[in-house]
Chain A
Amino acid sequence: MRTAVIVFPASNCDRDARDALAKVTGREPIMVWHRETELPDVDFVVIPGGFSYGDYLRSGAIAARSEIMADVKTKVEKGLPVAGFCNGFQVLTEAGILPGALMRNRSLKYICKPQPLTITNTKTRFTSGFNGQKEVVFPIAHHDGNYFADKKTIDRLEKNGQVVFRYNGNPNGSINDIAGITNEAGNVLGMMPHPERAVDPLHGGTDGLALFKSVLGALQ
């Protein structure tokens, strides 16, 4: 599987994403600078966490309007699998690729901790490799993770099975405990927790590996 990681100014989980992808695929991903106008020919793209553009204006707002995101949008429509973790999720909602918005945490504080999650849809290309495992622990680390969308959108997400991860013990006030969603076509995942920070026993757990293996499996 050929993969790419998009790098914005002040992305800071780009190395974490690169290492996780290299570990699972056996190949170094291509790091794509935000000023590029075209994605390389890859099978899977990760938009990493961090503080793109310092989170100025709104988290993900400026990155969503960068040159490379225009091409991401085009290729998503053609079916390219894309995952955004943390700031990557914020970028995807700001770009209109995923519905809803990430507001400031209910506590108004940044929060970093291991977070138990339930996989609520195991049939997506991002979760099919969990082999029946329903509960996972991924770290969260965010200030703006409070997922919000209007009622119609939430109903649609729920009905279509687009809610993929839910928090066990809601840390940030997200509607319906939503931690991660896909787009309607199912090729784009956005989630606040960090699966790429749970791929090594030294991280305290390796639940994240199955997510990347799912994507790999779905391609083969």
Chain B
Amino acid sequence: MSKSIKITPEIVAEHGLSTGEYQIILDRLGREPNINELGIFSVMWSEHCSYKSSRRHLGKFLTKGKRVIQGPGENAGVVDIDDNQAIIFKMESHNHPSYIEPYQGAATGVGGIMRDVFTMGARPIALMNALRFGEPDHPKTRSLVSGVVAGIGGYGNCVGVPTVGGETNFHKGYNGNILVNAMCVGLADQDKVFYSAAKGSGNPVFYVGSKTGRDGIHGATMASAEFDDDSDEKRPTVQVGDPFTEKLLIEACMELMATDAIIAIQDMGAAGLTSSSVEMADKGGVGIKINLDNVPQRETDMTPYEMMLSESQERMLMVLQPGKEHLAFDIFNKWELDVAQIGVTTDTGHLVLTHKGKTVCDIPIAPLGDDAPNLNRPHSATPQREYLAPGDARAPENWNQTMLQIMACPDVASKRWIWEQYDRHVMGDTVDSSQSGGDAAIVRIHGTNKAVAITTDCTPRYCYADPYEGGKQAVAETYRNLCAVGAEPIAITDCLNFGNPERPEIMGQFVGCVEGMNEACRALDYPVVSGNVSLYNETNGVAIPPTPAIGGVGLIDNLGKHATLSGAKDGDTLVLIGKTDGWLGCSLYAREVLGHENDGVEQICAPPPVDLTAEKAHGDYVRRLIRDRRVTAVHDCSDGGIALAAIEMAFSSGQGVTLKNHPDLPLHAWMFGEDQGRYILAVDENSVNPVISTANSKGLEARIIGKVSGEQVQVEGGFNISLEKLRETYEGWMPEFMAEID
């Protein structure tokens, strides 16, 4: 059947291949491809699988470090946490499907990222997510929030992996393209890490998990193009998740991994059976021969084309040691999952597919990777924005009203409505969930006194104003959040969400962010070990704000010597580490109060720069103070400046705060400035002098900014609001917003 389809220029174009790319295929094969072969080249060379627009830029990242066991290039990154244990983690986007079908899009995003982690031998121990929705007033926003949150919860809760943290933003820039970035962190023994390179010839290739259906065909291609008004028609390309099967698949894989049966293993993610088989063979330098008749199928009369491009979920591909096949059959039958030998490795270097006795594909594997397009797309730098001097920004007319306005703004207000729908406690090791207010989530390593700290961060408005500084800041903020809980920052994963790379200004945003991130990674000795790129987040020519979401992971070697927001006691002194110039450009205050992003009067200024040397020195010092138990609580100072950070600490401890004025700065620049690299520490009276003098002796700026006491949060000449009123405002926005569909 498939052979009867004639390959016309229209069919080539429908597969997203340029005439130049098609010519390479003709050259490599020495003949016309058939439709199956064309489909395989098409997905392997799609933006989603080949990273053709981004590859040359990603190659510049710092990817090595003293704790890095495996950097980018595998299913997930692997880092050393001592005692022969490793943390394996990655973040990935599921943006396009989540916009079209929010519940399934988000659910399968969670499922996919978990498979990337357990395919390497790690039991998933924590999930995080970074979500960006359109403005609250947009007619689609509520139903997207509702669907995405239910999808994330529905999947993660069922599988039994705690969702411990994340972030959520609302902005008009995401009206047409929401972002759903999911991160998974897993735990493995270092000598039991599994990789995807197939080895040897004649080894059995096994398919396990769910059956293959016609869902998600060409999902990877969908994620490689922008949306238009007919995007809803793409719904059939969205996959459907089954968390029950995923849970069984995890347990069955873990059981098989405890034996010595597996040579290589890879999940079937984007481009399903095609990318998993091609990548395994390519990495191992072998060929692979698959009999498609043996692929477990959910539907009748599936063609080779459909089977190879299906993105049915909860499937894995494995190469086993010959003679160990029975172990796979026993274990997967016990868990009532499909298990079938569908092929063997070969020494031909070719991908050969047979179907009903006929060869339906025979192509060399190397060109699928080696000859994948590696584009040098033109990029133009984002123009520099003007600096906003503290004295040039308007002061609030009514301080209390302004403070409450900030507390109730969608980016600040409590996201309890979201995180109470996620099981944060299952597995019994969640120490602190960042969703309940901490800077980073803390998850104990089971059976030990160690813990892993996890955070996700990005400030898209900074990236939009200045991609380079924004990229730096995103990495630095994760570093800061890890230090704030007393963790040694180890490495990051990233999810780079941008618009259409064919536009030079978008490509310029991408290049700027990547360069800024890389600068921060190098200065902080904080490498990138995994990640993904999501381009074409654009509808009718309008791109999302550049959003390089960063997931940071750190190690706490001794629980008990960590810090959270909540320990401040009555009478403690608040000490600010770091310099404050009152930087209001691009701040939350500028957007929410000064209206700098308002349509028609847009006046976006330069975002705060990050001094990476200071960032590192401050982080080192704060970690030392936590280790020496010199502080009762720690919070980083980010969106909303000192005012918001102090209020969040007050929420956590249940104690009010009285803040001091700054001798040289206008009060609103002091309270709401977003100067980077700063921490607020709650310090017992007796420790104040040593904390400040040691900082000063290291050349760091440390100053007393207030005291913990009473039930009000106040600053002289500024706001004075009861904790109760602040909390009511903070907690009120989201339930009220979502109430219309509750």
Contact A53 to B157, CB < 8 A, known contacts A15-B427, A112-B424, A141-B426 = no
Chain A contacts of B420 at CB under 8 A? 109, 111-113
**Could you mark each residue 126-164 of chain B with 1 if its beta carbon is under 8 Å from any beta carbon of chain A, else 0?**
000000000000000000000000100110011110000
Chain B contacts of A13 at CB under 8 A? 160, 426
A54 with B243: CB separation less than 8 A: yes
Chain B contacts of A19 at CB under 8 A? 428
User: Of A10, A54, A112, which one neighbours B425 at CB under 8 angstroms?
Assistant: A112
Chain A contacts of B705 at CB under 8 A? none
State A144–B378 Cα separation when bound (angstroms): 54
User: Of A9, A49, A109, which one neighbours B247 at CB under 8 angstroms?
Assistant: A9
The answer, yes or no, to whether A135 is at the interface (CB within 8 Å) is no
State A108–B157 Cα separation when bound (angstroms): 15
State A196–B425 Cα separation when bound (angstroms): 11
**Could you mark each residue 182-210 of chain A with 1 if its beta carbon is under 8 Å from any beta carbon of chain B, else 0?**
00000000000010110010110000000
The answer, yes or no, to whether B559 is at the interface (CB within 8 Å) is yes
A110 with B444: CB separation less than 8 A: no
User: Of B242, B422, B431, which one neighbours A54 at CB under 8 angstroms?
Assistant: B242
State A155–B421 Cα separation when bound (angstroms): 33
B244 with A9: CB separation less than 8 A: yes
Chain A contacts of B154 at CB under 8 A? 110
Chain A contacts of B421 at CB under 8 A? 109-112
The answer, yes or no, to whether B737 is at the interface (CB within 8 Å) is no
Chain B contacts of A113 at CB under 8 A? 420
Chain B contacts of A139 at CB under 8 A? 425
State A105–B367 Cα separation when bound (angstroms): 54
The answer, yes or no, to whether B711 is at the interface (CB within 8 Å) is no
**Could you mark each residue 20-55 of chain A with 1 if its beta carbon is under 8 Å from any beta carbon of chain B, else 0?**
000000000000000000000000000001110111
Chain B contacts of A15 at CB under 8 A? 427-428
State A203–B248 Cα separation when bound (angstroms): 27
Chain B contacts of A197 at CB under 8 A? 425-426, 428
State A124–B262 Cα separation when bound (angstroms): 51
Q: What's the nearest-Cβ distance from chain A to residue B565, in Å?
A: 14
Residue of B nearest to A194 (CB): B425
Residue of A nearest to B248 (CB): A9
Residue of B nearest to A49 (CB): B426
A55 with B427: CB separation less than 8 A: no
The answer, yes or no, to whether A12 is at the interface (CB within 8 Å) is yes
B244 with A54: CB separation less than 8 A: yes
Chain B contacts of A108 at CB under 8 A? 742
Chain B contacts of A54 at CB under 8 A? 158, 242-245, 247
Chain B contacts of A49 at CB under 8 A? 426
A16 with B427: CB separation less than 8 A: yes
Interface bin, chain A: 20 to 34
State A34–B682 Cα separation when bound (angstroms): 51
Interface bin, chain B: 20 to 34
Within 8 A of B (CB), among A99-138: 107-113
Most buried by B among A110, A112, A113, A202: A112
Chain A contacts of B419 at CB under 8 A? 112
Residue of A nearest to B242 (CB): A54
The answer, yes or no, to whether B336 is at the interface (CB within 8 Å) is yes
User: Of A16, A51, A112, which one neighbours B422 at CB under 8 angstroms?
Assistant: A112
B159 with A12: CB separation less than 8 A: yes
Chain B contacts of A203 at CB under 8 A? 425, 428, 430
Q: What's the nearest-Cβ distance from chain A to residue B464, in Å?
A: 33
Residue of A nearest to B336 (CB): A9
Residue of B nearest to A202 (CB): B431
Chain A contacts of B159 at CB under 8 A? 10, 12
State A200–B426 Cα separation when bound (angstroms): 13
A10 with B244: CB separation less than 8 A: yes
Chain A contacts of B429 at CB under 8 A? 202
State A183–B247 Cα separation when bound (angstroms): 32
Residue of A nearest to B431 (CB): A202
B444 with A12: CB separation less than 8 A: no
Chain A contacts of B335 at CB under 8 A? 9
B742 with A107: CB separation less than 8 A: yes
User: Of A53, A141, A194, which one neighbours B244 at CB under 8 angstroms?
Assistant: A53
Residue of A nearest to B447 (CB): A19
Chain A contacts of B150 at CB under 8 A? 109-110
State A172–B425 Cα separation when bound (angstroms): 19
User: Of A50, A110, A143, which one neighbours B160 at CB under 8 angstroms?
Assistant: A50
State A190–B117 Cα separation when bound (angstroms): 35
The answer, yes or no, to whether B423 is at the interface (CB within 8 Å) is yes
Chain A contacts of B425 at CB under 8 A? 112, 139, 141, 194, 197, 203
Chain A contacts of B157 at CB under 8 A? 51, 110, 112, 141, 143
Chain B contacts of A56 at CB under 8 A? 244
B244 with A202: CB separation less than 8 A: no
State A215–B265 Cα separation when bound (angstroms): 45
State A111–B153 Cα separation when bound (angstroms): 10
Q: What's the nearest-Cβ distance from chain B to residue A207, in Å?
A: 14
Q: What's the nearest-Cβ distance from chain B to residue A61, in Å?
A: 14
Chain B contacts of A10 at CB under 8 A? 158-160, 243-244, 247-248
Besides A10-B247, A203-B428, 4 more A-B contacts (Cβ < 8 Å) are: A10-B244, A12-B426, A15-B427, A197-B426
Binding site for A on B (CB under 8 A): 150, 153-154, 157-160, 242-245, 247-248, 335-336, 419-431, 444, 559, 742
21 contacts between A and B (CB under 8 A): A9-B247, A16-B426, A16-B428, A51-B157, A51-B244, A55-B158, A56-B244, A109-B420, A110-B153, A110-B421, A110-B422, A110-B423, A112-B419, A112-B421, A113-B420, A197-B425, A197-B428, A202-B429, A202-B444, A203-B425, A203-B428
List the 5 closest A-B pairs by CB distance, nearest first.
Answer: A12-B160, A54-B244, A51-B158, A10-B247, A141-B423
